[in-house]
Amino acid sequence: MSEKIDGVTFAKINTEEEQELGGQFQIRSIPTLMIFREQIAIFSQPGAMGEADLEAVLNKAKELDMAMVRKEIAEQADKA
């Protein structure tokens, strides 16, 4: 899949060795798929995902309007 979708970097974290990181992102199940754009977590789902579903999620993540995402995060922070 990493060769199929252009502009995506794949990484794997060993939560046994990186317990602080696993805790920071509230990872409770292995595997957990997370997608980040511009240092913002935009997707998180525990469990395995099929190739077609993964490709669809990655393409949607690439199309996401990050200006709108940042605006929504700011609005939520203002409410809190």
pLDDT of residue 46: 94
The single residue listed with the structure tokens 């077609």 is 52
pLDDT of residue 33: 94
pLDDT in tens, the chain (80 residues): 788 888 888 999 999 999 999 999 999 899 999 999 999 999 999 999 999 999 999 999 999 999 999 999 999 999 98
pLDDT of residue 73: 94
**Is the pTM higher than 0.95?**
no
CA distances from 2 to 34, 39, 40, 53, 61 (A): 15, 19, 20, 14, 15
